[in-house]
Structure 1
Amino acid sequence: MKITTATVDWKSSSPHSDHYEDIYFNPEDGISESIYTFLEANEISPLFDANSDACVTIAETGFGTGLNFLLTASKWLQHSSEQSTLQYISVEKFPLSHSDLHKALEQWPEFKELSHTILEQYPLPQAGFHSIKIPQNRIELLLMFGDAAQSYSRLNAKVAAWYLDGFAPSKNPDMWSPELFREIARLSKPGTTFSTFTAAGIVKRGLRDVGFDVRKQKGFGRKREMLVGTFVEDTTPTPIEKPWFELPAPEKPEEVTIIGGGLSGCSTARALAERGVKVTLIEQESQLATGGSGNPQGALYAKLPVKQTTQGELHLSGFLYSVNMLKRIDPEESFWSQCGVMQLATSDKELARQNNLIEQETYPQELVSLKSAEELAEIAGTAVNFDGLFFPSAGWVSPRALCDHFVDYPNISVVQQQVEELSFAEGHWQLATKSGETLSASHVVICNAEMANQFNQTDHLPLKTIRGQVSITQAKATNNQLNSVVCGDGYISPAHNQQYCFGATYDLQGKERNVTQDDHESNLEKLSKVLPDIHADLAAESNDLQGRTAFRCSTPDYMPIVGPAPVQDQFIETFAQLRKDRKWHFDNAKAEHHPNLYVNTGHGSKGLITCPISAELLASMICDDPLPLPKDVIDAINPARFIIKKLIKQTI
């Protein structure tokens, strides 16, 4: 779905929607109206007080200018404790542009700090889920750009209160649909409240039909009536289409043990620790990020498909999440650089694909644009041989430095051990180590790359390794100083710590762990095709090149494996009918998982864009928070998918 920003007419300093011919907020007293209609009608202050040690989820239809969020977040800061978190979820089909949102937020200087945070992380006009985190205040805003009913149909959450905002049913009838009301009911629980400014019959009947007790009360100011109510029960329960992807019901743990100290493990540790969970991170090597996460620099960008795919959505969501995260945690750019990334079209086929991608207008120009070789050379600061795509918000990251930052946080302790076996007894996991010790944990997350299937519980995971070698050399003072990351058949980043890092080889069969001169020559050959002057400088020192070899951990579908660990034998028994009929409807079938055992691996060469968002996903699963990715994307990376595929293909 292509996202178009709202066309706004500013009348008397108040935004007015040209599309819906309606105002965004009451120009006379918008704050008081929002407080009365949404916060007071949903009894938000008592709700926060009653959940002082839990996650509270508020959901909204129509983000608009963000006023309801600002008021709720402000109230949260007055009532919350250090043990609680606020999850605010909103949707917008025609989001305000960044400049219009900035102008709108200037109306309320009392929320200056919160407004600044929103503007810093405000997403590009791209369909999908977008996370804005304010960790110091324990607040997360999940913005969904797209149709309201469709967006909420992809959400996994338990909502405590609904703000049914947006333009009036007479102005925006498409939003107030039976499909939306069904999704609101699906995401509610007994006692969930709602309020809305409208008293329209279509809204009253729609909410009653899906299980809400609906009543009228006095509206704000001159408005005669509005609707409020409480969810009682869903009278039209939604059948579970794919029970094998249903997630186990969690309870937030006090502590979690993670096996593996690369990007996957370290980002998962941080995501859990920020939720108040104590984390023990087990790494068998003497330092973190010694495997595939240990290169000096990695390119931070997403290779976008022409037409949106599930994999493309994961990669783009992860990229945008990682960029926001890095801007927040390292504004000085000490271990990353938002210098831009060029994806060169080194063949006619790739150039045609890139032209098609731009012509489809699936992605906003602020994210990616097509530029000539001359334009790219101006940006890069050196000669470039091909046209290509340019991603101005992309760049490079030092993975090891990022891992060090992740674990430098309260509640995280790093232990050097090698775990050889897992067993479960009396409600706890026993981790047998190579040194003969046995560690105990209530919850375990397996993040040790290609070794994730070494355990009996996960030996069915189809992991594979892909050998890669990068070349490293000193950046000498010449007229050719690279200013941007350049990707062709390989990649090279601007110099960091007076060194260039470039490569990398992609060897599906290789097992050699040593650095080889043949791979150096291969990396130099790739460089010569795209950056002739940089290549000339580096080739002169080819005999002095240093390097590093590592093995990427990948999967057959090149998607990571993230989620609860399935019990393979039980899955085969429960869903055996799929061998005969892939569309079989399973009534009351339950997916069996190993208790409190999770997996996060298989990120391949995309770890910088998939590990942080996957860590947030896992931490949300474990702590029973709203999930930051759409359900179909979560299903696509579920560890159980390989068992189901084999059943359908009758290979198991």
Structure 2
Amino acid sequence: MEKLTSAHNTWLDEIPISSKYDDVYFNSQNGFSESKYVYLESNNIEKLHSEPYSTIVIAETGFGVGLNFLNTLHSWTTAKKHSNHYHYISAEKHPLCSRDIARALHGLSPKFDDYIRLLLSQYPQSRQGFYRLYFNKNITLTLLFGDATACYSQLYAEVDAWYLDGFSPSKNPDMWTKDLFESIAKLSHANTTFSTFTSAGIVKRGLTRAGFNVKKRKGFGMKREMLVGTFSGTQITNKAEIKPWFSLPKSKRPKEVTIIGGGLSGCSTAYSLAQRGIKVTLIEKETQLASAGSGNRQGALYAKLPVTPTKQGELHLSGFLYTVNFLKQNDPDNSFWSQCGVAQLATKDSEAIKQRELIENEYYPDTLVQLKTAGELTEICGSSVVHDGLFFPDAGWVSPVDFCQFLSNHPNITLIQKDIDAIQHTNSRWQLTDSDSKHLHCSHLVICNAEFANQFSATEHLPLKAIRGQVSITQKNTSLPELKTVICGEGYISPAKNGKYCFGATFDLKGKERDVTASDHNKNLKKLSAALPDFHQSLTEQNLPLSGRTAFRCS
């Protein structure tokens, strides 16, 4: 994976100028008006508001300071007619930092102040990847940090309008390529429009070859001409080059989905579908959601990063960053989570070497992860730490039970308590049979019940294994140090929640015992001693009683 290069700029009257391309990010005299003319009016975005699309998708090359997005966002929110959902996608190879965006947009127009605040509160760190931001239940922004051609070649979407922005072709010819134009065509349909500030021949010829009907329009202000057009519906390409197994079939949106299992997996899936307007029936056999493997008091929220980025690591990191952003937007009062930071201790020499390599490789910004000495972590944590380690300032802990309750509290989700014994697929429908021999029917079924997922005849081939784990819980006491951050080593411990500390956890490949055991308490105490010796000593000297809970991971 390539390292992302952030934008380096000079400034002229609070307008950023790219040092790399020697070009301005927007018109210093009338940037919003130019953006509105070149992109919104030329693509007839106002007409899109009245189209019968369930989702309107606009895609852009060159996010810059977000001027086009803010203009479009304002247009959408003030339109008389609204589509079900608006999705804005924008690629940026050299993203500005949030501080520079705030500086560039400061004081431009009061009507955009709320949008700018929402943008800056969610704006991602400058590293390669795809980032999903939300502005209300109907408006989504997906930022693609990386080369536009590479990003759009990975995307599966159906775009209604293209904003072909970016620096001038004469100053940034590497962006305006045949591959980019073909990616744009691949993501377009017969009525897709485009507009661009430039009238350069390389752009006109490239879009024409890709299947667009291109014409010139009067440019904004002193600029004589610009290009606009519509996709013909046929991409002009060499059919011998097309690999049929990369041509994804058109998917039909289901009207309803049934999910078995009300833990983190089931509730997250239910919420994701419900947000897309799909009716969900969520089935949980226990009286409370998140009663099994998702039922611990607190879960550490952080990313275990590989020294050199891998696809699996990128997926994990994307999930972490998305979740933090989601929690910040949906639980700003920290009612069921805390952004207290996470320290990942290097309890072995081999781990310390990996952590130093991870930082030295500079794949991850220091806003995401930092290397700290034991003394620095002691100061951060509030109790003596004897190992160096990584610190994640934006990480923390989440209450899985409370999180599941929040996710399931959606108008498109219906929660029912039933224990499903059997499933059968006949005549394009699923029949679910519960423990009382009663039947439910659905068109689409998702199974999220962890270790029990292979209990049905249709899934009994799945090679699942249940792995026992036990956490220990103790009452907060004045004799114990006040932990300020999550500590992860061989085990983990979080700051107190509702007057109780939770730490652990065991990892028993063969254990079948479902009750809490003293031997596993001792294992958790041993792990705690290695991570926080003073905390462990205070706990054991006071002989504070331990409670706990067991559950089984699914692997």
Query: TM-score interval w.r.t. the shorter chain?
Result: over 0.9
Mapping for residues 170-181 of structure 1, pairs under 5 Å: 170-181=170-181
Give me the whole-angstrom Cα distance separating, in 2, the residues matched to 1:397 and 1:413. 24
List structure 1 segments (4+ residues) > 4 angstroms apart after TM superposition.
Answer: 80-83, 237-242, 245-248
**Percent of counterpart pairs with the same letter?**
56
Contact 2:49 2:82 in 1 (8 A): no
Residue number in structure 2 paired with 1:26: 27
Superposition deviation, residue 286 in structure 1? 1.1
Taking the TM superposition and a 5 Å limit, the aligned residue runs for 1:516-531 are 516-531=517-532
CA 1:289–1:185 in 2, change beyond 3 Å: closer, same or farther?
A: same
- Give the letter for the 1:377 counterpart: T
Match of 1:334, SS?
coil
Q: String of CA shifts for 1:152-208, please: whole Å, max 9, x gaps.
A: 111111111110000011111111112211211111122211111111111111112
Q: What residue ranges of structure 1 are gaps of 5+ in the alignment?
A: 555-652
Aligned to 1:191: 191
Larger mean CA deviation between 234-243 and 202-211 belongs to: 234-243
Quick check: 1:421–1:433 contact (8 Å CA) kept in 2? yes
Q: Aligned pair in 2 of structure 1 residues 279, 541: CA closer, same or farther (>3 Å)?
A: farther
After the TM superposition, which residues 174-573 of structure 1 pair with which residues of structure 2 at under 5 Å, given as runs? 174-232=174-232, 233-236=234-237, 243=245, 249-478=250-479, 480-540=481-541, 544-554=545-555
Deviations for 1:397-450, whole angstroms, at most 9, x for unmatched residues?
100000011112212211001222223334432222222111122222222222
What is the match of residue 73 of structure 2?
Answer: 73
Partner Cα separation in structure 2 for residue 443 and residue 297 of structure 1 = 32
Structure 1 letter corresponding to 2:19: D
Aligned to 2:86: 86
After superposing the two structures, state which structure 1 stretch, 257-266 or 393-402, moved more.
257-266
- The CA deviation at 1:246 is 6.9
SS at 1:190 equivalent: strand
**Distance in structure 1 (CA, Å) of the matches to 2:459 and 2:389:** 41
Match of 1:109 in 2: 110
Check the 8 A contact 1:186/1:238 in 2, yes or no. Answer: no
Matched length? 551
Contact 2:397–2:494 (Cα < 8 Å) also in 1: yes
Hey, what does 1:156 align to over in structure 2? Answer: 156
In structure 2, the CA distance between the partners of 1:269 and 1:80, relative to structure 1 (3 Å rule), is farther
Q: Is the 8 A contact 1:49 1:79 kept in 2?
A: no
Match of 1:511, SS?
coil
Shift of 1:231: 1.4
Shift of 1:542: 5.8
Aligned to 1:630: none
Report the Cα offset of residue 538 of structure 1. Answer: 2.2
Closer, same or farther: CA 484–68 of 1 in aligned 2, 3 Å = same
Q: Which amino acid aligns with 1:366?
A: T
Whichever residue aligns with residue 147 of structure 1, its letter is D
Q: What amino acid does structure 2 have at the position aligned with 1:503?
A: G
Distance 1:460 1:2, change over 3 A: same
Alpha-carbon distance, 1:465 to partner = 2.2
CA contact (8 A) 1:472 1:546 kept: yes
Amino acid of the structure 2 residue aligned with 1:210: A
Alpha-carbon distance in structure 2 between the residues aligned to 1:447 and 1:16 = 50
C-alpha deviations, 1:500-559, integer Å up to 9, x for none? Answer: 1001111222222121111110110011011011111222466721111111122xxxxx
Residues 619-630 of structure 1: pairs in structure 2 closer than 5 A? none
Q: Quick one: distance in 1 between partners of 2:440 and 2:303?
A: 39
SS of aligned partner of 1:123: coil
**Greater relative contact order (CA < 8 Å, ≥ 6 in sequence):** 1
* Contact kept? 2:56, 2:83, Cα under 8 Å: no
CA shift for structure 1 position 242:
8.5
Checking the alignment, whether the CA contact within 8 Å between 1:423 and 1:431 is kept in structure 2 is yes
Structure 1's 57 and 438: CA in aligned 2 closer, same or farther, altered over 3 A? same
RMSD between superposed Cα atoms in Å = 1.8
2:480–2:535 Cα contact (<8 Å) kept: no
8 Å CA contact 2:374, 2:385 repeated in 1? yes
Question: TM-score, normalized by length of structure 2?
Answer: 0.96
| Segment of structure 1 superposing worse, 473-482 or 165-174 | 473-482
The amino acid across from 1:544 in the alignment is P
2:158, 2:463 → 1: CA distance? 33
Q: Deviations over 1:69-125 (max 9, x none)?
A: 111111111337676101110011111111101112222321111111111100011
User: Match of 1:381, as an amino acid?
Assistant: G
Contact 2:480–2:539, Cα closer than 8 Å, also in 1: no
Q: Could you tell me whether the CA contact under 8 Å between 2:259 and 2:283 is conserved in 1?
A: yes
> Which whole-Å deviations, capped at 9, do the CAs of 1:313-369 have from their partners, x for residues lacking one?
011000000000111111111111100000001111100000000000000010001
Q: Structure 2: how far apart are the matches of 1:510 and 1:345?
A: 28
State the distance in 1 between where 2:105 and 2:90 align: 17
Counterpart contact for 1:135–1:274, Cα < 8 Å: no
Distance in 2 between residues matched to 1:325 and 1:530, nearest whole Å:
30
| Aligned residues of 1:300 and 1:319 also touching (Cα < 8 A) | yes
Cα distance, 1:239 vs structure 2: 5.9
Q: Give the distance between the partners of 1:19 and 1:292, measured in 2 at CA.
A: 51
- Residues 65 and 105 of structure 1 are in contact (CA less than 8 Å); yes or no, is this contact kept in structure 2? yes
- More displaced 10-residue stretch of structure 1: 202-211 or 325-334: 202-211
Q: Which amino acid aligns with 1:221?
A: G
Per-residue CA deviations over 1:444-483 (Å, capped at 9, x if unaligned) read 2222222223334444433322221111110101261111
Cα–Cα, structure 1 residues 129 and 198, in superposed 2: closer, same or farther, change >3 Å? same
Q: Whole-Å Cα distance in 2 between the matches of residues 213 and 298 of structure 1?
A: 54
Q: Counterpart amino acid of 1:90?
A: S
Tell me, in whole angstroms, the C-alpha distance in 2 between the residues paired with 1:401 and 1:376. Answer: 29
- Which residue identity is paired with 1:450? E
TM score, norm. by length of structure 1: 0.82
CA distance in 2, matches of 1:234, 1:202: 18
Report what 1:640 is aligned to.
Answer: none
Q: Is the 8 A contact 2:474 2:544 kept in 1?
A: no
Counterpart in the other structure of 2:42: 41
Question: Are the structure 2 counterparts of residues 545 and 82 from structure 1 closer, same or farther at C-alpha, using a change threshold of 3 Å?
Answer: farther
User: Separation in 2 of the partners of 1:238 and 1:183?
Assistant: 17
**Preserved contact between residue 298 and residue 502 of structure 2 (Cα < 8 Å):** yes
Distance across 1 between alignment mates of 2:83 and 2:171: 42
Report deviation, 1:39: 0.9
| Partner SS for 2:463 | coil
Contact between 1:431 and 1:440, CA under 8 Å: does it hold in 2? yes
